Amino acid sequence: MLAALAVIVAALCFATTSPAYVLADTDGSAMSVGAARLLLGGAILGAIAWRQYLRTPPPPRPPGRGLDRIPSWVFVVAGALGMFAFQPTYFGGAAMNGVAIGTVVAIGSAPIITGVLDAIIRRRIPSLRWGVATAVALVGVVLVSGVIGQGGVDAGGTGATVNPLGILTSVGAGASYAVYAIATKILLDRGWRVGLAAGSVFGVTAILSLPVVIATPTDWLFTTEGVLLVVWLALVATVLAYLLLGWGLERLNPTTVTTLTLAEPLGATLLGVIVLREQLSPVSIAGLVVIAIGLTILSVPARERRIQVSAAVITDADGRLLVVRKHGTTAFMQPGGKPEPGESPSETLRRELGEELGLDVDPRALRALGTFTAPAANEPGFEVVAEVFAVDIGDQRPVAAAEIAELRWISRADAEQIEVAPLAARNFLPPEPPDRHAATEEAAPR
């Protein structure tokens, strides 16, 4: 709930962009103002990233296959290119087809493209709940935009036909934002801190924005209104907004995050009414209500038969998997547990490993393996949704404590002799059983 709230607040910060631009009433073009915003905001976030880098360098690239083989700097550059490309594609689509259609296509396509990219790149299939919430919120965006109220889809209400190139350009804006969200999420999954991930991406974006600022007229930057506008957009609509967004992205799927950012048109519309004295049609008012319903569906915790956990894959020198059994249960499962409010999956796992096995795990010793689902071992009728990490414990020796009655190092052959939870049995048993038998350690009885 807190993570969803952080993303919604970030979206409301984004929503101040257009009202601030109108109120400042400068001579700067939207492209020039957007580039100046990215230059200053990116420079500040880059400085934050540099400070965090000096204090806590990012963990080394994890060994493995697929995404793990790609250096982290590739995702930094990809995220920066996505964020930099958003500005010209967003404004370009709006210029060709009008603000209403351009906004609907750009903002509306972002969650959908993010869902597709997340399924392809990170192999996370969006949930039915996400699909329903996104569909509802997108209906609200269409209603708020005024497209329906215009009596048909035309280019800004002028009666001209929709420009296909403009539609593609707006879709490009949605895709650009999706690339940023996916790239940043991958960095966070690798153990990068929020400030380091967001700051590194925006630091590169600031460098890319400098030629745009130089190439566009900058007289407006030397006025009081221009300075105040850029400072507001940089500090509130960029630095604060993207730090909040990153905090939420660390704890939520990128698909959920991009859908929650549909709060931006809701906030922008309300600011237009309150600050700019704009008038809303009944259709637009209905759209605001529909957007709010969609965001509520996604952000309010659902009463569903799913258990969110973080789980560890810990192996010894012989390739055996560490599994544990809780007091009063029979099934052996991977170490881990349920999150406390506000915890990220990696924070949950580190806390659980400390409390239940006495392990002090460095964040850099965790490597994200992905999200896995399986029937719950101890709660009939429930499904476990686990964020799984490979964990290097070095020469530390785990000791059963707290809820843990017993721990074992098992091979695939050993797993046939005991009850193993479906999550571990289906996904993480060693491929080749070693010759030696499982080692067993009993915890002291309570």
Give the CATH number of the domain where residue 337 resides: 3.90.79.10
DSSP string over 299-325: HSPP--SEEEEEEEE-B-TT-PEEEEE
Nearest residue to 272 via CA among 285, 260, 290, 262: 285
The pTM assigned to this predicted structure is 0.67
Residue 367, domain extent:
306-442
**pLDDT for residue 43:** 95
Run of H or E including 83: helix 72-97
Claim to verify: residue 141 and residue 194 sit in the same structural domain:
yes
Claim to verify: residue 283 and residue 316 sit in the same structural domain:
no
Single-letter residue type at 100? A
Claim to verify: residue 44 and residue 111 sit in the same structural domain:
yes
Last residue of a domain, one of 247, 282, 299: 299
Claim to verify: residue 208 and residue 228 sit in the same structural domain:
yes
Last residue of a domain, one of 299, 329, 359: 299
Number of domains within the chain = 2
Per-residue pLDDT tens digits for 271-329: 777 776 767 678 778 877 888 888 787 766 655 567 889 999 998 888 899 999 988 88
Structural contact between residues 330 and 420, judged by C-beta atoms closer than 8 angstroms: no
**pLDDT for residue 259:** 84
Claim to verify: residue 267 and residue 370 sit in the same structural domain:
no
DSSP 8-state symbol, 407: E
**pLDDT for residue 440:** 47
Claim to verify: residue 11 and residue 157 sit in the same structural domain:
yes
Claim to verify: residue 187 and residue 116 sit in the same structural domain:
yes
What tokens appear for 217 in the block?
Answer: 């007229």
Q: How far apart are CA 130 and CA 146, in angstroms?
A: 25
Q: How far apart are CA 32 and CA 223, in angstroms?
A: 14
- Rounded to whole angstroms, what are the CA distances from 36 to 79, 242, 277? 18, 16, 27
**pLDDT for residue 30:** 79
DSSP 8-state symbol, 237: I
Nearest residue to 151 via CA among 187, 226, 100: 100
Residues 6 or more apart in contact with residue 222 via CB below 8 angstroms: none
Last residue of a domain, one of 299, 322, 347: 299
Per-residue pLDDT tens digits for 377-422: 777 667 888 899 999 988 889 988 878 888 999 988 888 888 888 8
Claim to verify: residue 279 and residue 363 sit in the same structural domain:
no
- Other Cβ atoms within 10 Å of 413 Cβ, number: 16
Low-confidence ranges of the chain (pLDDT < 70): 1, 60-66, 68, 98-102, 145-162, 276, 278, 280, 299-305, 380-381, 432-446
Claim to verify: residue 20 and residue 111 sit in the same structural domain:
yes
Claim to verify: residue 350 and residue 257 sit in the same structural domain:
no
**pLDDT for residue 304:** 56
Nearest residue to 93 via CA among 81, 78, 79, 107: 107
**pLDDT for residue 204:** 95
**pLDDT for residue 438:** 46
Claim to verify: residue 142 and residue 29 sit in the same structural domain:
yes
Claim to verify: residue 141 and residue 260 sit in the same structural domain:
yes
Structural contact between residues 35 and 212, judged by C-beta atoms closer than 8 angstroms: yes
Residues 6 or more apart in contact with residue 120 via CB below 8 angstroms: none
Nearest residue to 366 via CA among 55, 121, 60: 60
**pLDDT for residue 65:** 58
Angle at 370 between CA 367 and CA 373, to 5 degrees: 135
